[in-house]
Chains A and B, each alone.
Chain A
Amino acid sequence: MKLHEYQSKQIFAKYGVSIPRGRVVTTAGEVKHLAEELGNRVVIKAQVLVGGRGKAGGIRLAKTAKEAEELATHILGMELKGLPVRKILVDEAVSITKEIYLGITNDRTARKPVIMASSAGGVDIEEVAARTPEKIVKVHIDPLLGLREYQARDLALAIDLPRNLWRSFSDVAAGLWNAYVACDATLAEINPLVITNEQRLLALDGKMVVDDNALPRHPELNEMRDMDVEDEAEVEARKYGLSYISLDGEIGCMVNGAGLAMATMDIIKLSGGEPANFLDIGGGASAEKVAAALRIILADSKVKAVLFNIFGGITRCDEVARGILTALKEVNTQVPMVVRLVGTNAEEGRRLLAEANMATAETLLEAAQKAVAIAKGA
């Protein structure tokens, strides 16, 4: 789960990282007052969970409180990459001598966190990473020992930071590390970390991604979730413990298991169709869960056919069949369906569905080809 800039920076500040004075507000009037309070020169920043906000016009410098109000009015009416701007962060403007990059993420291959720093911080860090990767210095962190001070010093040296700033750079790195650990983050990033004219280090922007698997033990972070970036059907699915992702195709699919769900999408594509969704009902799904899943699939008006691929193990095929029948009683639909049931109680499941007048298939390939043919005919 991604956190907003203002949320990330507040967390960093809690762990000792200096951030500009500022606050998040929702109206242009508040922006004006805040600008007056902060000394007129302020930066107005749209709080939307997309990259490239600055280039899209969502970040502006205002020299007076009146200008701040005007800019805020404009930005609050904007959409950035399809998402509405509802919140604005107003930060005091600071004079900058240099922009640095500092971030911590998980290195899957090394199975350890890695801290990265670059003297070429700022908006083009992704280009720096792609074109001149040697300008980004990386140090792996032992997750049992944590970030050591010498490692932070190594980074400071490697990015040619002036000696008088090493101490405060170590403090920022330690603060970022502590925030990363405390929040179960998969990414904690300050870009840019700036050196001000007064030779202070300040986190001008911040970004955090929290491990979804860790959210149950961080209810305070879970509450920060921005529903604007959430797909309605995906939220509904989550309520039932279903893993659902909307796609653009015309064949809805219901599968047990994530790998098999992906393989089912792939074989639909291989057979000349396009999947409308990824849907994993999980292991041992009840009839209620299956019914909810089918309602979610059928709520997508693009769906021209539904493919069920159930490999019964812990999941019982007869229970899945009951769920399908329950949902069909509630939802009046003309969408044709293809069912493939294999494994635990498959025969009982097929018997239950015989009266529902659905196409059946023995193999996965046959099921996919039938679904594609039906969807094209419909």
Chain B
Amino acid sequence: MSILINRNTRLLVQGITGNEGLFHTTQMAAYGTNVVAGVTPGKGGEWVLDGKIPVFDTVKTAVETTGANTSVIFVPARFAADAILEAADAGVGLIVCITEGVPVQDMMRVRTYIDQKKVRLVGPNCPGMLTPGECKVGIIPNNIAVPGNIGIVSRSGTLTYEVLYALRAAGKGASTCVGIGGDPVNGTNFIDVLDMFESDPRTEQVVMIGEIGGSDEERAADFISSKMTKPVVGFIAGQSAPAGKRMGHAGAIIEGSSGQAEGKIRALEGAGVRVARHPEEIPSLLR
């Protein structure tokens, strides 16, 4: 078992003929992900990956023809909101948006719309997901994680790779790794993923990687203390970040006294989470 993605994932790639889309489709297919279709408006009828994957003009025809149940989005930021809505309207149940730089008002409208449907969005501005040994949706490097019992949820990209790498070096594996993204308004938050890990039989413990900005970590701490039985290890990036400056991610900013690392660490520790001082300390805090 795992969460969100597994061997039954039938993946559709929006923006498959672009540089990034094509590169990562190749990587995902090499990992063993079942990539069944691609979409690029105006390029319907073409094939990619040596004729193995058909390209469609619309998500709707791609879904009808191939039975895709998950979509990953690599289109430029100005087209991203539209791509998410198109996938949602075509009945795709799980949408993963890798694209960085989507305007926040776009995301507020998109989120309000898709909340009325049975759709889960992960991202935007995220590295996607990985269920080691089964399926990869997104851009997490192929060789850095092995199957195991640790669920990982993170707002960051390369920092997550660093943690997966440290876990593997310590002989520990992951059930599923979910990058929820670094934007202020996204599709899936910590609590959504923690809840899924709590009910997933394979996941026995959880690593949660947060950062400065917003109050998602504080609310996750409330959830952990009231609802979770599985042990959680945490890390918060940005303890040395100054206030009022956006640290790369659109959502990583301390505004006034809100969003500071200290408060998040205190909230997590208060909920019984063991918080690592640096990423490489995480494996030693796990069981």
Contacts and interface: CB of A to CB of B under 8 A. Distances in A.
Q: Do A and B come from one complex?
A: yes
Interface of A: 106, 108-109, 111-113, 142-144, 181, 184, 186, 211-214, 216-217, 243, 245, 247, 255-263, 265-270, 274-275, 278, 280, 283, 311-314, 342-344, 363-365
B211 A259 contact: yes
Contact of A142 (B112, B184, B240): B112
Nearest to A109: B215
A261 to B, nearest CB: 6
Contacts, number: 161
A213 B77 contact: yes
Nearest to B252: A258
B238 interface: yes
A270 B278 contact: yes
Contacts of A265: 238, 240-241
B189 to A, nearest CB: 10
Interface in B95-110: 101-105, 107-109
Interface residues of B, number: 56
A262 B237 contact: yes
A143 B78 contact: no
A213 B141 contact: no
B248 A280 contact: yes
B182 interface: yes
Nearest to B214: A108
Interface string B135-157: 00001110010000000001111
B249 interface: yes
B239 A269 contact: yes
Given A213-B101, A266-B237, A259 B209 contact: yes
9 contacts: A108-B251, A257-B158, A259-B249, A259-B252, A260-B159, A263-B162, A263-B235, A266-B238, A267-B279
B112 A270 contact: no
Given A186-B104, A262-B247, A280-B248, A270 B160 contact: no
Contacts of B108: 106, 111-113, 143
Nearest to A248: B242
Contact of B162 (A181, A211, A274, A364): A364
Which 6 A-B pairs have CB atoms at the shortest separation, nearest pair first? Answer: A259-B156, A258-B248, A257-B158, A259-B159, A214-B103, A262-B237
Contact of A212 (B111, B141, B247, B250): B250
Contacts of A213: 77, 101-104, 250
Nearest to A275: B240
B280 interface: yes
B31 interface: no
Contacts of A262: 159, 211-212, 237-238, 240-241, 247-248, 252
Contact of B111 (A111, A113, A184, A313): A111
Contact of A260 (B101, B140, B158): B158
Contacts of A270: 277-278
Given A257-B156, A262-B212, A214 B246 contact: no
Interface string B169-190: 0000000000000101100000
A261 B104 contact: no
A364 B235 CA distance: 15
Nearest to B154: A259
